[in-house]
Amino acid sequence: MRATLSLGQVRGIRVRVHWSVLVVFGLILFGLARGGFPEASPDRPVWQYWLASAVTSLVFLLSLLAHELSHALVARRNGVSVDDITLWLLGGLARLRSEATDPGAEVRIAGVGPLVSLALGAVFALAAVPVAGLFGAGLVVEALAWLAGINILLALFNALPAAPLDGGRLLRALVWWKTGSRLRATAVATVAGQCLGWALVGIGVYLVVAGAAFSGIWLVVLGWFVIVMATMEGSQASLREQLGKIAVSEAMTPGPETVPATTTVSDFVTDPHYRFRHSAFPVVDDGNTAIGLITLKRADAVPVEDRPSTTVERVSMPLEEVATPHPGDPLARLVPDLQSSPARRALVLDSGRLVGIVTTSDISRVTSRLTPSPTWPRRTL
């Protein structure tokens, strides 16, 4: 999922917003300003309804962010790296780079989200009581009550034992603990998610036929999302399991074409041997020790007048920014690193010496042999 706007970082975790969040914001804004608030507190200036609705919508999105941040922070405490958080049409996604190491960690990571939403619901509900006592019923009380109700509803919905919801993670942890098989546990949670999704679609279709078109269509969209995400999660888990049994050496291209570190950028960009074979090359010293990765894009960015005096070593991507697995490492562990790397390549090193290179195309080739519909493994919450 591509986000259109980055909101910065929270404790080292990048937060992104997908454009579809505008749909959620608009629906809540319009629904409260034109329906909920005027009915609960009539005879007020129109601008007050719109202002209260805008603030309430924003606080709700912040509540979603708190829910996802709790997943991410607890995941990190349990040794699971987090790439980013993206808020979008149906809530949020915390993208994790690896799996929980045991059922206990899975319970902690999945369970904290609903608990945070419940806590927020309780805070908003408790805050509404003194506000109502001091100022009586009004827009502020209605906004707090709505936020309390929606957060509690969010917690209860997410607690349903079906993937990809948090309750599905808890069900997965339980089955994993009982059977000892993470793959079997994922299959159970996947089936539960598909059943829930079809149930939501069925209820939505009934509501449309009964005349509640908006609510019905929303449930159909939500149900279809649950079905798709549950199915994808099951196939990804199976693929991760299989990739975990394959070594990096089985996917890499051995003896890749390299560029000596002393090569000038001018020679590199004009030599057809480099120019027309690949878009990136490992940079090595005289002992075939990897120094970095040079891409045609980085070389082309060097001013023409500076190219004869600039070596590729100076403008290459340093090893700190490139994945450098060992030939014997599990391929599944490399996939998230390739996903997050701008180079989309990994240099396979053995005691510092370059022995191979792995690209996203190599991963796709391996996954195409393992499944008829290859999908890159990605864990979301």
User: Where in the sequence numbering do the catalytic residues fall?
Assistant: 68
Buried b (16+ CB within 10 A) or exposed e, 63-99: bbbbbbbbbbbbbbeeebebbbbbbbbbbbbbbbbbb
Buried b (16+ CB within 10 A) or exposed e, 203-222: bbeebbeeeeeeebebbbeb
Residue 113's identity, in one-letter code, is G
Those residues with Cβ within 8 angstroms of residue 28's Cβ, 6 or more apart along the chain or in another chain: 53, 56, 57, 60
180 vs 170: CA distance, rounded Å: 15
CA atoms within 13 A on the CB side of 3: 18
Residue 369's identity, in one-letter code, is R
Expressed in angstroms, the distance from the first to the final Cα of the chain is 13
Query: Does residue 100 contact residue 381 with C-beta atoms inside 8 Å?
Result: no
Three-state DSSP state, 128: helix
Q: Cα 114 to chain center, whole Å?
A: 18
What are the helix (H) ranges across the chain? 21-31, 37-40, 46-77, 103-135, 139-158, 166-179, 182-210, 213-243, 248-251, 265-270, 272-275, 296-300, 312-315, 331-340, 360-370
Q: Starting from the edge strand earliest in sequence, which strands make up the sheet with 253-254, in order? A: 253-254, 353-359, 345-350
Query: Does residue 207 contact residue 335 with C-beta atoms inside 8 Å?
Result: no
229 vs 223: CA distance, rounded Å: 10
Three-state DSSP state, 368: helix
> Residue 6: how many CB atoms within 10 A of its CB?
12
Q: Report which of 196, 178, 160, 176 is spatially closest to residue 106, judged by C-alpha positions.
A: 176
